[in-house]
Structure 1
């Protein structure tokens, strides 16, 4: 599991460095000084790179026991399947239905109690739907 974490961290770090380098290719209107369109992506990528380095050091320091690795790998697999099902069914079902079901299943996978899982999935789905449809005027 430690090797997997190191590989994932290395991959994320390399992608973040590449994307950070790509932000220098953004066009700025009229060569304006100050904060341009690349500011937020750069800040986000720097945060991702710092967190990846911290996670790498934690992975190197902490040894995992063998039994917990198998449980975590099953949960990780189920989590990935739930996200894949969400992406696959996104166009077929309404957003509120598929997001509520997916978030509830993720709560079950993470062994959250049923009532908090239902409340969280419904409130989060409705909130995201409202923000995108009313705030950003994007139809989900």
Structure 2
């Protein structure tokens, strides 16, 4: 697992650096009356690079060398499949249904996978989807 983890982080850092380089060609925010459109993607890419570099160093310093899928059960694989499938479904439905509805349903499904109570799952999914919607629409002027 140590080698797979290190390879994954090297690839992730390389891809993030490529996208960061590409984001430098975004238009500047001078005439837009606010932040540049590249601000949020660049911030996320920098955070991905920093956390990946940290985990790469930790993986390098670890003494153990466990197998990659050691301890993974069938139930975990099904949960991963449902989460991955809900993300693909969200991407597929993004232009066809309102964002806030898609986000709330996806977050509700993921809360249920995490075995939260029904009421907690409902409140969490609605509050998070409305918050994300308001941050992007009102804060970053992104049309969703």
Please report the TM-score for the alignment, with normalisation by the length of structure 2. 0.67
Q: How does 1:20-59 map to 2 (within 5 A)?
A: 20=17, 40=43, 41-42=45-46, 44-54=48-58, 57=62
Q: For residues 89 and 58 of structure 1, do their structure 2 counterparts lie closer, same or farther at Cα, with a shift above 3 Å needed?
A: farther
Paired position in structure 1 for 2:101: 97
1:83 corresponds to which residue?
A: 87
Hey, what's the Cα distance between the residues in 2 that align with 1:110 and 1:121? Answer: 12
Structure 1 gaps of 5+ residues are 28-36
- Cα offset for 1:42? 4.5
Q: Distance in 1 between matches of 2:57 and 2:138?
A: 38
Mapped to 2, the partners of 1:11 and 1:74 lie a distance apart of 22
Q: What count of residue pairs does the alignment treat as equivalent? A: 125
Q: Distance in 1 between matches of 2:63 and 2:109?
A: 29
CA contact (8 A) 1:108 1:114 kept: yes
Unaligned runs of 5+ in 2: 26-38
- 1:66-105 CA-to-partner distances (Å, cap 9, x unmatched) read xx52221111111101111111111110011110001001
Instruction: Give the aligned CA root-mean-square deviation in angstroms.
Output: 3.4
SS at match of 1:91: coil
Give the 4+ runs in structure 1 shifted more than 6 A. none
Query: TM (normalized to structure 1)?
Result: 0.69
Q: Could you report, residue by residue, the CA deviation over 1:34-75 in whole angstroms, capped at 9, with x for unpaired residues? A: xxx8x854464132221244367498359944xx52221111
- How far apart, in 2, do the equivalents of 1:64 and 1:124 lie? 33
